[in-house]
Amino acid sequence: MNVNGTASTPVLEQIRQRPARDRRILFTGATIITMDADLGVIDRGDLLVEGGTITAVGLGLTADDAVVVDATGAILTPGFVDTHRHAWQTQLRRIMPDVNDLGSYLMTTLAGHATAYRPEDMYIGTKLAALTAIDSGITTMLDFSHNSRTPAHSDAAIEALRDSRIRGVHASMAPHFGDWDQQWPGDLARIKDQYFSSGDQLLTLRLAALATDEIAGPRLAYGPDLARLAQHLDIGVSVDAVFGAASSQAIQRWAENDILGPDVTLIHATGLTPEAWKTMAQADTTVALAPTSDAQIGLETAIPAIDEALDVGIRPGLSIDVEVALASDMFTQMRALHTIQRMRASNAAYGTGQHASRITTHDVLDFATLQGARTNGLAALTGSLTPGKKADLLVIQAEDLNNMPLNDPIGTVVLGSDARNISAVLIDGEPRKWNGHVLDVDLSTLRSEVQASRTYVLRATSA
């Protein structure tokens, strides 16, 4: 990508000198992976951004008064969509890389470290997660914020998303353990009025809950009361810890109570019964898989439920989950899922003479973009490079050492690329990463804040 421009003023400066609402940016000469079924992959294509919106994709585009970005040798792709991450924990990332099981995570992090968090720790952890997401090409992140101990804790998490300028989804839930103000879920009405009054903003709100009362009691378990509140507030619901027999039974109850539908996302979905999957499909429920979380932590079967989802016609989104034990980026999730599913399919067919039904790189990129947007309730806004959608996109260098030569563009994104190859990230048409660097971040100050917060939390919970 030519970041220097054709005149004396660098491209980024030319873009930023113009009012965001009125400016035009024309990317030229790129391999464009639209993830739009009608547009497909365009070789040496052009893409026009006007304000915060993609207005044209094709060949030989021109636009008066546009800032032209020469994207020859680069791939344009939709930004990745993370459907579930507990962002507040990020200053504790990889503190338990070899966690043995869910119980170890719960007792160390949620019953331990979480209880010491102040609002400022919520802010720092959430902001670090969002900026890291942007650096690795995630333009939309659902923050499953399950440490809302006071209204100030919720406010801090939301303000961190806002200040990072990611397309953020704040999914609010009370803490599992410890003392808190008992303000949830009633405080959701205030949160919506204060932070989510406009439909035309980067942030959206969801209610977060657990599938059953097994972990933290009945108050956090999804059911008719929480469903009615979400419907009253006109917000979606994200349900975590969906696994095993108890969750399968809960899914059947939700369907009987008519509180299971496309506005409900079920997270993990490991170890569910065939009957539960059929019920989910009939209700058009969305699913957020967490490939590395399921496999590394050992959640129920420890196998990401991709085959079960596809067998009933559900195309899931992908998610990061907990950085205390897992990788931060979507490339890892795509590769893990791609490898695990194809391994299982080949193993099942071995010696039988049957055909192995294996997913493709196109499948996992679809899960990481368009299906993730649908899972988060944002498919009309993002997830594909379709004219009329918001300009949430990545510029990935296809001629870098680890990617050259470009043969299969989708294969290059899924199997070859990582954060170092992302030269630019646009969110709502606004550059957030350029020339390989996340913009408007004082790394020295951020580093000091992160380290101070981590030190406080660890000291507070070691006493």
- Eight-class DSSP state of 390: B
Instruction: Look up residue 287 and give its two tokens.
Output: 């699913």
Nearest to 359 by CA among 375, 343, 371: 343
d(CA 320, CA 461): 25
Q: Which two tokens stand for residue 103?
A: 């119980």
What pLDDT shows up at residue 2?
65
Residue that has been written with the tokens 């961190």 in this structure: 160
pLDDT confidence of residue 199 = 78
DSSP bridge pairs for 221? 210
Q: What is the pLDDT of residue 1?
A: 66
> Where in the chain are all domains bearing CATH 2.30.40.10?
11-78+380-438
Q: What is the pLDDT of residue 3?
A: 52
Question: Which H helix or E strand runs over 141?
Answer: strand 138-145
Which amino acid makes up residue 244?
A: G
**Residue 5, pLDDT score:** 47
| Contact by Cβ (8 Å): 207, 226 | yes
Please list the ranges in the chain whose pLDDT falls under 50: 4-7
Integer Cα distance of 65 and 375 in angstroms: 37
pLDDT given at position 8: 53
In the chain, CATH 3.20.20.140 sits at 80-375
The whole-angstrom separation of Cα 84 and Cα 239 is 10
Query: Residues, the chain, total?
Result: 463
pLDDT of residue 215: 87
pLDDT at 107: 95
Phi, then psi, of 317 in degrees rounded to 5: -90, 170
**Whose CA is closest to 235, among 171, 140, 147, 284?**
171
| CATH code given to domain 11-78+380-438 | 2.30.40.10
**How big is the CA angle at 445 (ends 441 and 448), to the nearest 5 degrees?**
135
Neighbours of 222 (CB within 10 A): 27
What local confidence, expressed as pLDDT, does residue 134 receive?
Answer: 98
CATH topology assigned to domain 80-375: TIM Barrel (3.20.20)
